[in-house]
Amino acid sequence: MRTFTGKVVFITGGSSGIGAGLAREFAGRGASVALVARRAERLRTVAAEIRAGGGHALAIPGDVTREGDLERAVALTASGLGPIDVVVANAGFGVVGALEALRIDDYRRQFETNVFGVLRTTYATLAELRRSRGTLVILGSVSAYMAAPTASPYAMSKFAVRALAEALRSELAPHGIAVVLITPGFVESEIRLVDNRGHLRADAPDPVPHWLRMPTKRAARQIVRAVARRRRERIITSHAKLAVFLARHTPRLWASLVRRSRVSRREPF
Ligand SMILES: NC(=O)c1ccc[n+]([C@@H]2O[C@H](COP(=O)([O-])OP(=O)(O)OC[C@H]3O[C@@H](n4cnc5c(N)ncnc54)[C@H](OP(=O)(O)O)[C@@H]3O)[C@@H](O)[C@H]2O)c1
């Protein structure tokens, strides 16, 4: 699938960052895209921009933590654009902080979006994917390989979806469904400006220096290429490749580097 002409791509978290970048990239390669996220206005802006460029896009306000929203979004996509070929379970955010500063509810909130949101997306689209022998794309993270201090909820959620991707890859292969795990390092987006309750703090500075962040468009291009080739996994950014390599092959060295770096993630305010 080098071009996506005639294909329908369903993306959760399409109102900003990687999801919006993917919508533009898929649409640029001929796909019709359905975008789901909570902020209706932002979604409509992305969809309108794609339509103005000659593409087909549908903005469907919805929350991946709410029962029924995804089933409704799938029905609207099928009736508005046609049967779904590619599903991108991308919606996510980060709950950060030291264990003692957090409560069980913080972990639950993290899992509701990043883990159960991905599962809800998978259940809601499975019949479509079976029919199209399509592709399920799951957004993991470099945090699915290493759990940095003060980021345990986020890392736990990403370890979980990496496990889901691995299990489903074998489970769904007999149905002709490919599962592609995307493992980004630092990519330009709003994720580090979103607080532990999922609200954007637009004025907060991004704690990751600009030179370390890959431009969204470039990341989206690499992800779409991996989807076209139905690759099992694509690690995005060279620092992420190095970090995953060190975490996998030299876990003690990596742990001591992390400990010594005294990295600490704080909520944006
Ligand atoms: N950027 C990075 O450096 C990086 C690194 C590793 C992994 N990732 C992963 O990449 C994915 C996309 O994140 P991003 O970096 O592009 O961040 P982002 O710019 O903050 O985008 C997150 C998207 O998820 C949506 N979302 C959040 N909660 C939702 C919910 N309950 N229901 C529906 N949509 C929801 C947001 O839209 P609304 O607020 O409008 O709902 C937004 O469109 C995430 O899974 C993230 O963990 C990103």
The secondary structure of the chain as a DSSP string is --S-TT-EEEEESTTSHHHHHHHHHHHHTT-EEEEEES-HHHHHHHHHHHHHTT-EEEEEE--TTSTTHHHHHHHHHHHHT-S--EEEE-------S-GGG--HHHHHHHHHHHTHHHHHHHHHHHHHHHHHT-EEEEE--GGGT---TT-HHHHHHHHHHHHHHHHHHHHHGGGT-EEEEEEE-SBSSSGGGB-TTS-B-TTSPPSS-GGGSBPHHHHHHHHHHHHHTT-SEEEESHHHHHHHHHHHH-HHHHHHHHHHHT-------
Nearest residue (CA) to ligand 1, atom 44: 92
Per-residue pLDDT averaged across 69-98, rounded? 97
154 is catalytic: yes
Per-residue pLDDT averaged across 49-68, rounded? 98
* Residue 195's pLDDT band (cuts 50, 70, 90): very high
Which atom from ligand 1 is nearest to the alpha carbon of 94?
47
Per-residue pLDDT averaged across 42-54, rounded? 98
* Residue 262's pLDDT band (cuts 50, 70, 90): low
Asked whether the predicted pLDDT for residue 2 surpasses 70, the reply is no
Sequence ranges of the domains in the chain = 8-261
pLDDT in tens, 158-180: 999 999 999 999 999 999 999 99
Q: Report the pocket of ligand 1 as residue ranges, CB < 6 Å.
A: 12-19, 37-39, 42, 63-65, 90-93, 113, 117, 139, 141, 184, 186-187, 189-191, 194, 198
Q: Which of 107, 123, 145, 154 is catalytic?
A: 154
**Residue 77 CA to ligand 1 centre (angstroms):** 20
pLDDT in tens, 203-218: 999 889 999 999 999 9
Nearest residue (CA) to ligand 1, atom 2: 187
**Residue 227 CA to ligand 1 centre (angstroms):** 19
Which atom from ligand 1 is nearest to the alpha carbon of 114?
45
The CATH T-level fold of domain 8-261 is Rossmann fold (3.40.50)
**Residue 92 CA to ligand 1 centre (angstroms):** 4
Calculate the average pLDDT of the chain.
95
**Residue 247 CA to ligand 1 centre (angstroms):** 24
**Residue 93 CA to ligand 1 centre (angstroms):** 5
